[in-house]
Amino acid sequence: MNYEANPCQDYESITIDELKERTSSLLNLVTEGQRPLRVCMNNGKEFLLCPQDLLAPICDADFRLILLSAMRYAMGRNTYMPAVVSDYIKRHIRFLDDKFLALAADDIRRHLEDYAEHEPNPNLWQGLFDALETGQSARATRQARKSRFCPACGKPLDVISITDNQHSPGGFDVIAHCQNCHSDYEWFCDKDGGTSDMKKYFFG
């Protein structure tokens, strides 16, 4: 199996002592039975208590390649597969990694450039391409979209514009507005999410 990293390492962990008494018997049930347990909370949310191994097939780095193969197979075909593959990727786009998004978008772009006139579903692939691009830019600007507080009144600012910084690859110039003071501020956000001091911004 081809793990890039432990897929669960970012999750908060608790010791068995921190769990309530009943929980340990439930955990035993889950680990011994290798079957997840649905946990329903009072607020209507649900989570699964499951052995980590259960996620192995999709946390496997080869999963990305298998999905790309399915997409390459489906392009140019006039069967039900293009819709199956495209809908699946759109449905789960937030769980697919940056590398997949970049590779898949690149494949579709080249396919549409080279075989556009033979492609039976150009709109379907263009739609998926657009979804991948939107997903990529949403991730790229995720750090820059983080709100900061108005230096004058302390209210959270609304980010109104994020543009590529011409001098710093991966960095953005951010402009934000304070609803309370009706002032605008600008700052620079580097590719790692570090931000410069705020300056008052004047349009025009």
- Positions touching Zn ion (CB under 5 A) are 150, 152-153, 178, 180-181
Q: Name the residue nearer to Zn ion (CB basis): 147 or 180.
A: 180
- Quote the least distance from Cβ 151 to Zn ion, whole Å: 8
- Quote the least distance from Cβ 181 to Zn ion, whole Å: 3
Report CA 17 to chain centroid distance, whole Å. Answer: 34
Q: Name the residue nearer to Zn ion (CB basis): 119 or 184.
A: 184
Strand partners, 49: 37
Q: Name the residue nearer to Zn ion (CB basis): 55 or 152.
A: 152
Q: Where are the beta strands (DSSP E) in 41-157?
A: 46-49
- Quote the least distance from Cβ 165 to Zn ion, whole Å: 25
Pairing of strands 46-49, 37-40: antiparallel
Q: Where are the beta strands (DSSP E) in the chain?
A: 37-40, 46-49, 158-164, 172-178, 183-189, 199-200
CA distance 177 to 187: 12
Q: Name the residue nearer to Zn ion (CB basis): 104 or 176.
A: 176
